[in-house]
Amino acid sequence: MAEAQTTFPKFHNEAGKKNVRVGAKEFECIGALPPHDHPHVYLDMGEGVQIICPYCSTAFVFDETLGPTDSVPPGLLYADGKLTER
Ligand SMILES: [Zn+2]
pLDDT of the residue at 83: 54
Q: What is the pLDDT along the chain (86 residues), one digit of tens a residue?
A: 555 566 789 999 999 999 999 999 999 999 999 999 999 999 999 999 999 999 999 999 999 999 999 999 999 999 754 555 55
Q: Ligand 1 centre and the CA of 43: distance in Å? A: 9
Q: Any idea where the domains of the chain sit in the sequence?
A: 1-64
Q: Ligand 1 centre and the CA of 36: distance in Å? A: 11
CATH superfamily for 1-64 is q5lls5 like domains (2.60.260.40)
Contacts of 21 (CB under 8 A, 6+ apart): 60, 61, 62, 63, 66, 71, 72
pLDDT of the residue at 4: 57
CA distance 17 to 23: 17
Q: Ligand 1 centre and the CA of 1: distance in Å? A: 35
pLDDT of the residue at 8: 84
